[in-house]
Structure 1
Amino acid sequence: MMRVFSTINGQIEQIEKPETGAWLCLSEPSDVELANVSQTTGVDLADLRAPLDDEERSRVDVEDGYTMVIVDIPTVEQRGGRDWYETIPLSIIVTEGLIITVCMQDTPVLHPFMEGTIRGFNTFMKSRFILQILYRNATTYLRYLRIIDRESDKLELKLRHSMQNREIVMLLELSKTLVYFATSLKSNEIVLEKLTSLDRIRQYPDDEDLLGDVITENKQAIEMANIYSGVLANMTDAFASIVSNNVSNVMRIFTIISITLSIPTLIFSMYGMNFQNGMSGMPLTDKPWGFVAIIIISMLISILVTWFLTRSKLFK
C-alpha cells in the first residue's frame, strides 16, 4: 500500500501524488508499487526491497542521490489468541525532494505521524523527521518492554501455583523476545552513532537535543531489555530447580511405596511355595488362625518400615 503525506499550512494531509517535500509511505508494497517508486525517484529497486526481508540488518547506506537508513522496529504478532513481540526492518530513504519509508507491515510506529499527533513534525524537515521516527521507535520499545515485564510477573504468579507446559513455553517465548529486542536495539545504537557523524543529512539547530533524547531512550531500552532478560533467565532457572525438586519428591514417595509393598509381597511369596507331603515347615501354617496372623504381622512390619523411611535422612 502506498500513501503520500505532506505538511500543508502546518497540518499533515494525504495527497494523491508525490511532490517536493512530501513523505512517501510504503507499507506491504506490491512489486508494481516498488517498481513505480524506483522509476520515479531513482532509488535502486534492491534498496527498496531490502526492508522486506525480515533478516535485514540495521545500517546506513550512502548512495548517489539518496541516503538509506534501516533500523529494527518492534511489532506485535497474534498467535494462539495472544500478543507476541518481534522485530522487523524499517527503511527510511532520504532523496533530494522526498523522504520514503518502506516496511513489510503497516507499523504503529508511523501512525502518529500520519495522524498529525507528533508535535513539531514537518515533512519538509527530513533530518528531524528521521530523528522523530527513531525517537518514536525507542519509546515503542520501552512501552513493549514494560508490557513484557507485566506479562512475566503474571506468569510468575501462575507458575507458583501450577507448572504447566503452557506457562513454561510462554516464559521461553518472552525470553526469546527480549533477546531479539536487545539485539535489535544494539544494532539501532550503531546506526545512531553513524548518523551523528553523517554530513549528508543536515541537522537543524534544535535537532541536537532531539538526537540526544533518541540516544538516551535507546540506551535505556537496551538496559531494560538486558535487565528483564536476566530476570527471566533467573526465573527460568529457579522454576527448573523447583520442577527438579518436585520430581525428586515424587520419586521419593514412589520409592517408599515400592519398598513398603515389597515386604508383604516377599512374605506371601514364601508362604505360597509348594512343599512335598503338605509339610512346608513355615511358622503358623498348622494353626487355624495362622493366615490372619501372617497378614497382621506383614502389615505391622510394613508400617514400621514406612515410619522408618519417612524419617530417614536418606529420603529427606
Structure 2
Amino acid sequence: MIQCLLTGENGTMEKVAQPCPGCWVNVVAPTDEERAWLEGELGVLPEFVSSALDDEETSRVDYDEDARQIFVIVDYPVVGEDGAGVRPQSPLQYDTMPLSMVFLPERGLFVTISILQNEVVDDLACGRVRNVDTRYRTRFLLQMLLHISQLYLVYLRRIDRLSSNTEARLHASVRNEELIQMLNLEKSLVYFSTSLKSDEVTLNKIAQGRIIPLYEDDQDLLEDVLVEVHQAIEMANIYSGTLSGTMDAFASIISNNLNIVMKVLSVITIVMAIPNIVFGFYGMNVGLPFEGVPLLDNWAFPLLLAVAGCLVAAWIFKRKGLWH
C-alpha cells in the first residue's frame, strides 16, 4: 500500500494523487510492483529499500553522498504477531518491528517504509498527532520518533498491569497458562530494552547534527524525544528486574510445593506398606504373637494392627514436634 499525504492549509492531513514537494509518501508492506515504483519512480536506493524490508535490521542512520539520501531506521513496539501478521489470542506477547524513513531532498519528499500496518503511521496519517506538517521533514521525523517513544511508554504500562494481574492469579492457583504469560512478558521486556537502546544510539547520532541539520525548535523536540526514550529504558529495566525476581520466587514456590507433595506421598506409602507386612506373616509358615494364648488367640491380628498403628502415629507426632 502506498499513500501520498500532504498537510493542508488548515493543518489536516490530505491525500494527494501523486508525490509532490513537501508531501509524505507512506509505504506499508509493498508488493514487488510497489517496490519497483519506489526504486524507479521515486529514486530510493535499492539497498535502502532492502534494509527497510528486513525485519531483523537494527536501528541506525545512514547517508549516501552520491544520491544525497538520508536513511533512518528505528524500532517501534507492536503486539506480538506471527508470520502472517495475525495476533495471537493467548498468551499475549509484545515485540518490536523496524520503521524506515528516507529523506529525498532533491524532490522534497519524506518516505516511510514499514513491513506491517502499524499504529505509528496510522495515527499520523489520521491526524491523531497534533501540529504535524509534512513540509518540515526534520520536524516531522522527530515528531514520529516522539510518538514512537510515547507508544513504548504506553505498552510498558500495559505490560506492568498485565504482569500484576497474572501474578494475582498465580497467588490463587499456579497454572501453566499464567507461567507462560509471565515468561512471554519477560521476553517482551527484553525485546523492548534492546530496541530502545538501539534507538537511543540512533537519536544521539541525529543529535550531533552532522547528517540531519537541526534548527533551534528541532533541538527542543529532540530533547523531548531523548527524555521519553530514557524514561522508557528505565521503566523496561525496572519491570524486567521485577518480573525476573517474581519468576524466580514462583519457581521456588513450585519446587517447595513439589517437595511437600512428595513427602506426603512417601508417608502414605509407608503407612500402606505396614498392613502388607502384617498380612504377609499370615502367608508364611511362622507363628504369630499371642497365638495359642487363651482369650487372645482370636484377637492376634487386630492387636498387631493396633500396635502398628500406634507406632506409626508416634513416629508422625515425633516428626511434627508434638511429642517429646
Q: TM range, normalised to the smaller chain?
A: over 0.9
State whether residues 288 and 300 of structure 2, in contact with CA within 8 Å, keep that contact through their aligned partners in structure 1: no
- The alpha carbon displacement at 1:304 in A equals 3.5
TM-score by length of 2: 0.90
**2:245 equivalent to 1:242:** no
Taking structure 1 as reference, are residues 141 and 291 closer, same or farther at Cα in structure 2, changes over 3 Å only?
Answer: farther
The structure-2 alpha-carbon separation of the partners of 1:148 and 1:267, relative to structure 1 and needing over 3 Å to count, comes to same
What's 2:15 paired with? 14
Report the alpha carbon displacement of residue 156 of structure 1 after superposing the two structures with TM.
0.6
Structure 2 unaligned spans of 5+:
81-86
CA distance in 2, matches of 1:141, 1:124: 26
Q: Distance in 1 between matches of 2:183 and 2:319?
A: 38
CA distance in 1, matches of 2:123, 2:249: 41
CA drift of 1:207 comes to 1.4
Separation in structure 1 between the aligned mates of residue 194 and residue 310 of structure 2, nearest angstrom: 60
Q: 1:313 to 1:20 in 2, by over 3 A?
A: same
The more displaced of 10-19 and 81-90 is: 81-90
Partner of 1:169: 180
Letter in 1 for 2:72: V
Summarize the Cα distance change of 1:209–1:257 in structure 2 as closer, same or farther, 3 Å threshold.
Answer: same
- 1:260 paired residue number: 271
Amino acid at match of 1:84: Q
1:37-116 matches, within 5 Å, as 37-64=38-65, 65-77=68-80, 78-81=87-90, 83-96=92-105, 97-116=108-127
Distance 1:301 1:132, change over 3 A: same
Conserved in 2, the CA contact under 8 Å of 1:4 and 1:25?
Answer: yes
1:137 CA drift (Å): 0.4
Structure 2 vs 1, CA of residues 23 and 290 (structure 1 numbering), >3 Å: closer, same or farther? farther
Aligned pair in 2 of structure 1 residues 83, 266: CA closer, same or farther (>3 Å)?
closer
What's the CA shift for 1:34?
1.2
Task: Name the counterpart of 1:270.
Answer: 281
Query: Who is 1:5 aligned against?
Result: 5
Q: Deviations over 1:78-125 (max 9, x none)?
A: 213554310001001111111110111111012221122322210011
Match of 2:206, as an amino acid?
L
Q: Is the 8 A contact 2:6 2:22 kept in 1?
A: yes
Q: For residues 38 and 216 of structure 2, what CA distance do their matches in structure 1 show? A: 32
Question: Is 1:302 the counterpart of 2:305 in the alignment?
Answer: no
Equivalent position amino acid for 2:209 in 1: L
Q: Identity of aligned pairs, percent?
A: 39
Rounded Cα–Cα distance in structure 1 between residues aligned with 2:125 and 2:182: 35
Q: 1:133 to 1:291 in 2, by over 3 A?
A: farther
Preserved CA contact (<8 Å) 1:7 1:124: yes
Structure 1 equivalent of residue 157 of structure 2:
146
Q: Which structure 1 segments of 5+ residues have no match?
A: none
Q: Indicate the residue corresponding to 2:34 in structure 1.
A: 33
SS at match of 2:209: coil
**Structure 1 20/262 Cα, relative in aligned 2: closer, same or farther at 3 Å?**
same
- Aligned to 1:284, the other structure's residue is in SS state coil
TM-score after normalising by structure 1: 0.92
- Letter in structure 2 aligned against 1:137: I
Separation in 2 of the partners of 1:12 and 1:205? 25
Structure-2 separation of matches of 1:300 and 1:54: 74
Per-residue Cα deviation, 1:209-263 (whole angstroms, up to 9, x for no partner): 1111100100100010011001110000000000001001001101111122222
**What stretches of structure 1 move > 6 A for 4+ residues in a row?**
none
Counterpart in 2 of 1:156?
A: 167
1:312 is the counterpart of 2:315: no
Range with greater deviation from structure 2 (43-52 or 207-216)? 43-52
The structure-2 alpha-carbon separation of the partners of 1:226 and 1:290, relative to structure 1 and needing over 3 Å to count, comes to: farther
Shift of 1:12: 1.3
